[in-house]
Structure 1
Amino acid sequence: MSEFQTVDAAGAAESPGAEQSVTTRVKQPIGLFTLSAIEMWERFSFYGLQVILAYYIYYSAGDGGLGLTEGEALAITGAYGGAVYLGQPLGAWFADRLVAARTMVMAGGVIIMAGHISLAVIPGVVGLLTGLALITIGTGALTPNAYAMVGRLYKEQSPRRDSGYAIFYTGILIGALLGPLATGYLQAEFGFHYGFGAAAIGMAIGLFTYFLGRHTVPEESKIVPNPISLSGKWKALGFGVALLAVIAILVSTGLLSTGNLNNYVLGTILIVSVAYFVVMLQSKKVTVDERQRVKGFIPLFITGAIFWTMILQLFTTFAVYADTRVNLSIGSYSMPAAYISTFEVIAGIIAGPLIAAYGQKLAARPNRKVPSTISKLALGFVLMTLTFGLFALFPLIFTGRIPLIPVIIGMIVMGITEVMYAPIGMSVASQLSPVAFNSQMMALWGLTTAAGASLSGFMGQLYSGTSEVGFFTLMTAISLVTAVFLYCLRGPLRRLGVA
């Protein structure tokens, strides 16, 4: 039997015959590993910062922090996470209308690196705001375009697509593991600014590897697919200037502050998300079939936002939980609180390739019944229900601080949950994407993460002010209801082409 063909060094599409081939060994495009590498190092820098950010904001000056309140720290962390992903539609728009995706990824990496350097060398709130602003802009340029380029490596119904995204997501998880380990250690031993410096170095490595493999990305990523007119460019410039002016007025008048920043971020996310759906549904460049697919994506967008609200509490609710409720000592060794999230990532790294391999094995057996994509998403929420159910039980079982081992078990279940859901969500967004809005559809999927990150800040504040058992029980109930809702969507979405 013939093998599936890989793309060539220039990122050519899969051969027509590849889709009908059956084999026990399925190759992946070379460009997948180039894109996995840059995203791995971007996540190294992002999560390396994210895992110590709340501590930096609410630790006292004597401990190297800024000395703000815990509530402000959770609000800023949630707002930053939301803003990072909120910038992705703009980066995707640039790639679709002004600058080729391949160039956007490189430029985004440079800006991210500059942001981490600002955090490392500029002290106080000025350094914090400057660094976070640059990272927000850079991530918006890099991430949605890297995700979109992965989708372009495959034909629409390729059996390799889900497994390719699972491999890509494994690279993300490796970065999400190494980043916190490096910055958490440096913060504990030398101070926060050394941790920020490590994040900058990680992004520099990612840029170097991407530059070396830049010719393996898809050919389509080297051109602007839907160039904007000259008048459109002036309108875009005017909108950007007006937006900056509004932000300046809000800050100068005190209407925008660290305490209410997350309110503005969440409101903006909702407005932008609705606007994206409206534009795609009304665009003449979207066919009738594509319009139906966009409508089908609406419930998946909502459930995606719920999913990320749960997962991204790693950096809000669980950051405080690790710092205040967990016994971090193992014998004479006391583990940094920032390391708690790494167990979630380790579980994902181990489970991700296993899930991908199993998916490829099923894809190579045409007569074998394969679980639907939506069923996989629903299963992810079933595991999420188990995760929060465990944390609801811990205070009823243990007195005082929670022992480390049960918390690690909870993190492991959450890690498996993430790799069960997130790469499949990316794949679905790519499948439902209109041709004229490919990068922007992936950015819309990124907005589910934006909404989740912002909402996780509110959830962290809710956790700090309510019963621990009640809070985790509420999260358990929300996860279970969402799982049932997704399972009921299998038939309608299958009719829209979601396998």
Structure 2
Amino acid sequence: MSNPTKQEIVDSVPQRGFFGHPRGLFTLFFTEFWERFSYYGMRAILIYYMYYEVSKGGLGLDQTMATAIMSIYGSLVYMSGIIGGWLADRVFGPSRSVFYGGILIMLGHIVLAFPGGASMLFTSMALIVLGTGLLKPNVSTIVGEMYSEEDARRDSGFSIFYMGINLGGFIAPLIVGTVGTEYNFHLGFGLAAIGMLIGLIVFMLTRKKSLGLAGRIVPNPMDKDERRKVTKLLIIGAIIVAVLLAAAITFGWLTLESFVLVVAVLGVLIPVCYFVVMYRSPKTNAVERSRLTAYIPLFIAAVMFWSIQEQTSTVLALFADQRTQLQWMGITISPAWFQSLNPLFIIILAPVFAWFWMKLGDRQPTIPRKFAIGILFAGLSFLVILLPVYFSGDKELVSPLWLVLSYFIIVIGELCLSPVGLSATTKLAPAAFSAQTMSLWFLSNAAAQAINAVLTTLYSKDTELLYFGTIGGVSIVLGIILFLMGPKIQGYMKGIK
């Protein structure tokens, strides 16, 4: 029996039931809300758990290595989406991928909920990386399958779904962060596990009546011959990896430092390979090659932006813990709370930016110049930190308002670059590589965090001025160059505005 058409899938979904949207949006909104609650809750306390002394409930790892591990962890999470998308397309379908991913994420948090050493930490990370790769891209796919391409509610539906992501990201550090840093890290990780469990329960209890056929179809299933070939390749690949691991362990090559370096290199090489394959493919015509050429500086700008933005959970998390006044106006602030600022400002400012771009109409900046503005603000968010550091030195604690201002500025940059980047990716992608180009966009974050794994090791109290000044300055210079090159890049886009 052939797969149903897109319209048949849409028709199978109850089209009213959640603020005028398909009933399934309720299912996916709260599934993603709780998944993000679990992920951002865990992330809010993870770096503290790694470098706090054992007497304080932590693992007592070197602080520099803790920031590198956090960056590599984030990079692998974004890389795993490629595998999760392929498994959904060829093996499980989006719905089962979301369910299996949620189970793996929950198990990862459960592992951290029990006391253990570094081995438990890395086991948890592996489970969450695989689980997020399965769940994150595919839950968004199911949202898209509920609407016809002509449905005027489609963009609004994704906006509501995106609000669920940010609400989960806002609440999690406040609850999990407080419990983890003030009471017990393992209890905090346990709350993250409970959050994912609630998300799974919501998904399982409501998907049958709410989602219809959305997410249940395997778009491009493998036939028996393909399954045999893939199974054979997987077995051969597993043997090669096992042999390489055995050799690395035997000769002492497998260290945390070498693993960080390997992932950092892969984070840069994989996007480069993507670009080369797409550009040289006979399926890519001359106009599409020109658009890919325009996409390259945008991708580099995105890597620069995410490199700064993702340091909110590493370097700025350290700054919040060690260099910020946490007793302020009679309130005791948990350092994890600062990680609620990004989603909070997005919730507040996203409608403002949507209105502003609509108001400007044809007068709004071009795509390259919006990217340029984005990385200008990213650089400025780091330069802002220089002021209290310069005037207070490395001895005194600084007001928490400086961190609030830094987060506010980076969100302005994010709203100039991130949604525009998603839109630009769909417009500039070669027709034969539309899905893979979207994967490439998410790899900009993976590449940024892979670079951060090396970059953040340079941060310390002694290098604060040089660290924030250099990275912030480089971002601003790159933003100015991109702004000046805007008309040239726009010319390579061949009609795309």
TM-score normalized by the length of structure 2: 0.84
**What amino acid is the match of 1:312?**
E
Q: Tell me, in whole angstroms, the C-alpha distance in 2 between the residues paired with 1:97 and 1:292.
A: 31
Q: Which moved more, 1:74-83 or 1:205-214?
A: 205-214
- Tell me by how many angstroms 1:34 deviates: 5.0
* Counterpart Cα distance in 1 of 2:417 and 2:355: 16
Could you tell me whether the CA contact under 8 Å between 2:50 and 2:58 is conserved in 1?
Answer: yes
Q: Deviation of residue 173 (structure 1)?
A: 2.2
Deviations 1:417-470 (A, max 9, x none): 323322222232233345554443332222111122232333322121753222
Aligned partners of 1:210, 1:154: CA distance in 2, in Å?
19
- Given that 2:79 and 2:446 are in contact with CA atoms closer than 8 Å, whether structure 1 keeps it comes out as yes
Verify: 1:142 aligned to 2:140, yes or no.
no
CA deviation vs aligned residue, 1:340-375 (integer Å, no higher than 9, x gap): 22223321221123323555x55xx9x764443433
Q: Which residue matches 2:452?
A: 456
Post-superposition offset of 1:193: 0.7
**Among residues 347, 371, 375, which one is paired with 1:377 in the alignment?**
371
Q: 1:59 deviation in Å?
A: 0.9
Report if the CA contact (8 A) 1:9-1:30 is conserved: no
Cα 1:313/1:297, change in 2 over 3 Å? same
| Deviates most, 74-83 or 449-458 | 449-458
CA separation of 1:423 and 1:305: change in aligned 2, threshold 3 A:
same
- Matches of 1:105 and 1:276 in 2, distance apart? 26
Q: Secondary structure at the match of 1:259?
A: helix
The alpha-carbon deviation at position 157 of structure 1 amounts to 10
Question: Residue in 2 aligned with 1:337?
Answer: 335
Give the 3-state SS of the residue equivalent to 1:98 in structure 2.
helix
Q: CA separation of 1:281/1:104 partners in 2, compared to 1, >3 Å: closer, same or farther?
A: farther
Q: What residue in structure 2 maps to residue 304 of structure 1?
A: 302
Q: Is the 8 A contact 2:45 2:181 kept in 1?
A: no
- Give the aligned partner of residue 121 of structure 2: 128
Equivalent-residue separation in structure 1 for 2:8 and 2:115 (angstroms)? 42
- Alignment partner, residue 278 of structure 1: 276
Residue 442 in 1 paired to residue 435 in 2? no
Amino acid at match of 1:406: W
Q: Whole-Å Cα distance in 1 between the matches of residues 28 and 279 of structure 2?
A: 30
Q: Which of residues 338, 345, 355 in structure 2 aligns to 1:347? A: 345
2:178 and 2:159 map into 1 onto residues whose CA distance is 29
2:223 aligned with 1:223: no
Counterpart CA distance in 2 for 1:421 and 1:164 is 21
2:467 is paired with a residue whose SS is: helix
2:92 counterpart SS class? coil
The match for 2:248 is: 250
Once the two structures are TM-superposed, the CA of residue 275 in structure 1 deviates from its matched residue by: 2.8
Counterpart among 407, 411, 417 of residue 413 in structure 2: 417
- Pick from 249, 265, 268: which aligns with 2:266? 268
Residue type of the alignment partner of 1:390: V
C-alpha offsets along residues 310-351 of structure 1, whole Å, 9 cap, x if unaligned?
011111111111111111112443211111222233212211
Partner secondary structure for residue 260 of structure 1: helix
Q: Distance in 1 between matches of 2:428 and 2:164?
A: 24
Distance 1:162 1:376 in 2: 20
Superimposed CA distance per residue, residues 220-274 of structure 1 (whole angstroms, 9 cap, x where no aligned partner): 8733237472454132443244335434543454322223332111112223223
* 2:400 corresponds to which of 401, 404, 422: 404
Alignment RMSD, CA only?
A: 3.4
- How far did residue 56 of structure 1 move? 0.9
Please tell me the residue identity of whatever aligns with 2:77: V
2:198 paired with 1:187: no
- The equivalent of 1:21 in structure 2 is none
Q: Is the 8 A contact 1:378 1:484 kept in 2?
A: yes
- Correspondence for 1:472: 468
User: For residue 200 of structure 2, what is the aligned residue in structure 1?
Assistant: 207
Contact 2:72 2:263 in 1 (8 A): yes
Aligned-pair identity (%): 33
Answer with 240-249 or 311-320: which moved more: 240-249
Q: CA deviation at 1:393?
A: 1.6
1:485-496 equivalent positions in 2, closer than 5 A = 485-487=481-483, 488-489=485-486, 492-493=489-490, 495-496=493-494
* Counterpart for residue 49 of structure 1: 42
Counterpart code for 2:449: A
Q: Are the aligned partners of 2:48 and 2:58 in contact in 1 as well (CA < 8 Å)?
A: yes
Greater mean deviation of Cα atoms: 158-167 or 313-322: 158-167
Equivalent residue letter for 1:380: G
Give 1:77's aligned residue.
Answer: 70
**Judging changes above 3 Å, is the alpha-carbon distance between structure 1 residues 186 and 332 closer, same or farther for their aligned structure 2 residues?**
same
User: CA 1:148–1:444 in 2, change beyond 3 Å: closer, same or farther?
Assistant: farther
Answer with 445-454 or 151-160: which moved more: 151-160
User: 1:268 is matched by which residue type in structure 2?
Assistant: L
Q: Is the 8 A contact 2:7 2:148 kept in 1?
A: no
Give distance in 2, aligned partners of 1:312 and 1:78. 8
Letter paired with 1:110: I
Confirm whether residue 324 of structure 1 aligns to residue 322 of structure 2.
yes
- For 1:46-70, what per-residue CA distance to the aligned partner results, in whole angstroms no more than 9, with x for missing partners? 2211121111111111100111111
Contact 1:75 1:260 in 2 (8 A): no
Residue 392 of structure 1 corresponds to: 386
Normalised to the residue count of structure 1, the TM-score between the two structures is 0.83
Unaligned segments of structure 1, at least 5 residues: 1-6, 14-25
Does the CA-based 8 Å contact 1:162-1:427 persist in structure 2? Answer: no
1:156-203 per-residue CA deviation (whole Å, 9 max, x = no partner) reads 899988776655443322222222112211113331111111111222
* Residue type of the alignment partner of 1:450: A
Paired with 2:414 and 2:202, the residues of 1 have a C-alpha distance of: 26
Count residues with an aligned counterpart: 477
The structural deviation recorded for 1:308 is 1.0
